Amino acid sequence: MGGLKVPDESVIQVHIEEAGYEAGQPRIRDVDIDVRAGRLTGLIGPNGAGKSTTIKTILDLLPHAKADIKFGGASGSYAYVPEQPVYYDTLTLWEHLGLAAAVYGMDEVDFEREASHLLEKFRMNEVRDHLPGSFSKGMQQKMMLMIGFLIRPDVYIVDEPFIGLDPRATKDFLGLLEEERRRGAGVLMSTHVLDTAERICDDFILISNGHVAASGTLEAIREASGLPGASLFDCFDKLT
Ligand SMILES: Nc1ncnc2c1ncn2[C@@H]1O[C@H](COP(=O)(O)OP(=O)(O)OP(=O)(O)O)[C@@H](O)[C@H]1O
C-alpha cells in the first residue's frame, strides 16, 4: 500500500471484445482502456452509451463478457467508488472505515492516521460516530469516497462522482485525487460533467452507442472530431 509507481506504467489495461446482460445481446463492443500511473482517464458518453456497463465489465460483474482485464501497479489493488452509496445500516461512518481497513489488512496505526486525515479533509469529523442512514446523499457519497481513499490503491475506478457533491466537497475530492495522482495512482472516472472533465482529465474515452467514438488526449479528440481548439462538449456533440 502506498508505494510509488513508475511513471507511464499501466495501472489498468482493459480490452473488452463484447459484454452485456443477456447471452447474444452485447451492449458494448471493442472497448480498449489503458490507464497510466498518475493519470486521470475520463469515461465520457451520453445516457445509455455503455459507461456503467464498461465499469461493471472491469469489475467482473457481468455474466456475459468477453474481456481481458489486467491490473498493474505495485500491488494490483484498486478501489471502486460507486455512484449509488452502498452501506450497512447498523455501522457508523467510523466503523465503515474500520471495516474497510480490516478487509484490506491495514494496521491500526495506519488506519487511525489515514481515517482521521480523511475525516478532516472531507469535513466529516462531527458525524464520525453517526449512522450513514442519517446522512444526506452527498455525505453518503463522501463516505464512499473516503473508503476508497483509505486503502490508497494503485487505481481508482470512480462512477460519476460530481452529481451529489457540493462545490466545496468537489474541491476537497479533487484535491485528494491530485495527491493520489502525484503518488502515482491512476484514475478511471465516468462523468457527464464535461467542463470539469475537460479541466482535470489527461485522457478521454468517448463512448457512444456501446462503441468508442474517440479516445486519447483532448488534442486527439479534437482531431478525431475535426474541431481544432473546440471544447470537449462540442467535440462530444459532433462525435456522438
Ligand atoms: N441491468 C441491465 N440489464 C439489461 N440491460 C441493461 C442493464 N443496464 C444497462 N443496460 C443497457 O445497456 C446499455 C448501456 O447502459 P449503461 O448503463 O452502461 O449506460 P451509461 O453510459 O452508464 O448511461 P448513464 O449515463 O445513463 O448512466 C443501455 O442500452 C441499457 O439499456
How many residues comprise the chain? 240
Domain that holds residue 13: 1-77+155-240
Q: Establish whether residue 45 lines the binding site of ligand 1, counting it when its CB lies within 6 angstroms of any ligand atom.
A: yes
Query: Which amino acid is it at 13?
Result: Q
Do 162 and 219 lie in one domain? The reply is yes
Is 82 part of a structural domain of the chain?
no
Do 126 and 229 lie in one domain? The reply is no
> Within a 10 A sphere around the Cβ of 49, how many other Cβ atoms?
22
Do 175 and 129 lie in one domain? The reply is no
CB 48 within 8 A of CB 201: no
**pLDDT value for 6:** 61
Do 175 and 210 lie in one domain? The reply is yes
Do 192 and 131 lie in one domain? The reply is no
Do 182 and 63 lie in one domain? The reply is yes
Do 135 and 194 lie in one domain? The reply is no
Q: Establish whether residue 225 lines the binding site of ligand 1, counting it when its CB lies within 6 angstroms of any ligand atom.
A: no
- The ipTM of this complex is 0.97
Q: Establish whether residue 50 lines the binding site of ligand 1, counting it when its CB lies within 6 angstroms of any ligand atom.
A: yes
Helix (H) or strand (E) holding 198: helix 194-200
CB 144 within 8 A of CB 164: no
Q: Name the band, by pLDDT with cuts 50, 70 and 90, for residue 228.
A: very high
> Separation of 217 CA from ligand 1 center, angstroms?
26
The three three-digit cell numbers of residue 187, written as one number: 484514475
What pTM value is reported for the model? 0.92
The strand pairing partners of 215, in sequence order, are 205
Q: What pLDDT digit, counting tens, does each position of 55-75 carry?
A: 999 999 999 999 999 998 778
- How far apart CA 162 and CA 192 sit, in angstroms, is 9
Do 181 and 236 lie in one domain? The reply is yes
CB 140 within 8 A of CB 109: no
Specify the residue for cell string 460519476: 160
- How far does Cα 39 stand from its chain's mean position? 12
> Separation of 127 CA from ligand 1 center, angstroms?
35
> Separation of 47 CA from ligand 1 center, angstroms?
8
Ligand 1 atom closest to 192 (CA) = 25
Nearest to 36 by CA among 218, 202, 231: 202
Is 104 part of a structural domain of the chain?
yes
Q: Name the band, by pLDDT with cuts 50, 70 and 90, for residue 226.
A: very high
Query: Which amino acid is it at 213?
Result: A
Chain mean pLDDT for the chain? 93
* Residue where a domain stops, chosen among 152, 172, 207: 152
For a mutational test of ligand 1's pocket, the pick from 21, 52, 57, 240, i.e. the residue with the most ligand atoms closer than 8 A to its C-beta, is 52
Ligand 1 atom closest to 50 (CA) = 18
CB 172 within 8 A of CB 122: yes
The three three-digit cell numbers of residue 145, written as one number: 469516497
Structural domain count, the chain: 2
Q: Which residue's C-alpha comes closest to atom 28 of ligand 1?
A: 48
